[in-house]
Structure 1
Amino acid sequence: MSDEVSRFGVVEPEDLPDDLRDRVGAIADKSGFVPNIFRALGHRPAELRAFLDYHDALMDKADGLTKAERELVVVATSGANHCTYCVVAHGAILRVRAKDPELADRVSSNPWQVELDERGRAIVDLALALAHDSAAFGEAELADAREAGLTDDEIWDVGAITALFAMSNRLAHLTALRPNPEFFLMGRLPR
């Protein structure tokens, strides 16, 4: 197995433009390491900047979906798209935010059978409907989500997060992006 992080190489944080070095540095300070996605996208600074901006606009919202629910969408979408990098990376974040060391593995491997509360089930089902056959998505899926109590703003967030990570999953496939080893134990062992 190759030790390459990306088939297109990487850029280390110190070689990024100042604004990106600061943003990635803040993430590294919080997590203790630089997630490989930022190193892989670093050779295209405008795209990394746009990715971070859209990611932050969707994932850092204070209202609507909780941070754990947002990560639930990412893990369900990434599992549906067979994206190892995003399942591993965001599975780690979901484990931490949900305070559940098993949830991410269960959602990514069999999202249809994982036991969730009604709201979680609606979130995962909505993400899967968009991830698997977005052209068939319609009023029935919206009605199910609304019946489970999701607001239109929350439904939009599920859809937008699913769409962003469909793109992210495909970039990870393009680059053959390897997850950081640190992600594998996050949220499984006491810190």
Structure 2
Amino acid sequence: MTERYPAPTLDSLPEDIRTRILEVQEKAGFIPNVFLGFARRPAEWRAFFAYHDALMLKEEGSLSKGDREMIVVATSAANQCLYCVVAHGAILRIYEKKPLVTDQVAVNYRKADITPRQRAMLDFALKVCEQSSAIEDADFERLHAHGFDDEDIWDIAAITAFFGLSNRMASFSGMMPNPEFYLMGRQPREKK
């Protein structure tokens, strides 16, 4: 499958977006397709990445960066989003340093070698993903028993919901994962 909406060229983008994309390219060694794909609509790109960063880069709360990526991988797999499973699976491998666990979470987190706390987190995320109208007080109680507070629970739900949007945009537009994502976190990174 090819992208249904061709990405704009880097030099055609507003300066703030081009600068951010070049920073990502410098750090990653390539430009993830989502950065150019969404840049076709600059106002939406800015809003998307502002919310992404607010959810995924925040320091407060008990969710680690690995936990956050684990939520993305598990819920993106449920939504059958190839781009997000592959791209965020790569990031999860890097954060957790457990390539096998990342693949397990992508296929069936219930059988993955993760902690009971992570399993409870993903159980809730999948319920938000697939049956948000069925969330009840007992779901909060289960998470509280694993040390999550109400703000952590909000984060789990918000990450799930945000990536539901991302999954659908990537899937309908035909966005494909960059080839670089497939090997990230599986082998040592080459020194520049």
TM-score normalized by the length of structure 1: 0.95
Aligned-pair CA distance for 1:185: 0.2
Aligned-pair CA distance for 1:12: 2.6
Name the CA distance, whole Å, in 1 between partners of 2:78 and 2:38: 23
Which residue of structure 2 aligns with residue 51 of structure 1? 48
Name the CA distance, whole Å, in 2 between partners of 1:60 and 1:11: 26
Which residue of structure 2 aligns with residue 119 of structure 1? 117
Which residue of structure 2 aligns with residue 136 of structure 1? 134
Following TM superposition, the consecutive aligned residue runs of length 4 or more in structure 1 with deviations greater than 2 angstroms are: none
Note if contact 2:101-2:113 (Cα within 8 Å) is conserved in structure 1. no
TM alignment of 1:104-183, pairs within 5 A: 104-183=102-181
Name the CA distance, whole Å, in 1 between partners of 2:102 and 2:23: 25
Aligned-pair CA distance for 1:14: 2.3
Note if contact 1:127-1:162 (Cα within 8 Å) is conserved in structure 2. yes
1:83 to 81, 84, 87: 81
Structure 2 gaps, min length 5: none
Structure 1 gaps, min length 5: none
Note if contact 2:125-2:157 (Cα within 8 Å) is conserved in structure 1. yes
Name the CA distance, whole Å, in 2 between partners of 1:93 and 1:12: 25
How many residues align structurally? 188
Aligned-pair CA distance for 1:143: 1.1
Residues 62-111 of structure 1: per-residue CA shift (max 9 Å, x gap) = 12211111101111110111100000000000000001111221111112
Which residue of structure 2 aligns with residue 187 of structure 1? 185
Residues 13-40 of structure 1: per-residue CA shift (max 9 Å, x gap) = 2221101111111111110110001111
Name the CA distance, whole Å, in 2 between partners of 1:11 and 1:138: 44
Name the CA distance, whole Å, in 2 between partners of 1:172 and 1:114: 26
Identity of aligned residues (%): 47
Name the CA distance, whole Å, in 2 between partners of 1:93 and 1:136: 30
Name the CA distance, whole Å, in 2 between partners of 1:13 and 1:138: 46
TM-score normalized by the length of structure 2: 0.94
SS of residue matched to 1:115: coil
Name the CA distance, whole Å, in 1 between partners of 2:139 and 2:10: 42
Which residue of structure 1 aligns with residue 33 of structure 2? 36
Residue identity matched to 1:53: A
Aligned-pair CA distance for 1:115: 2.6
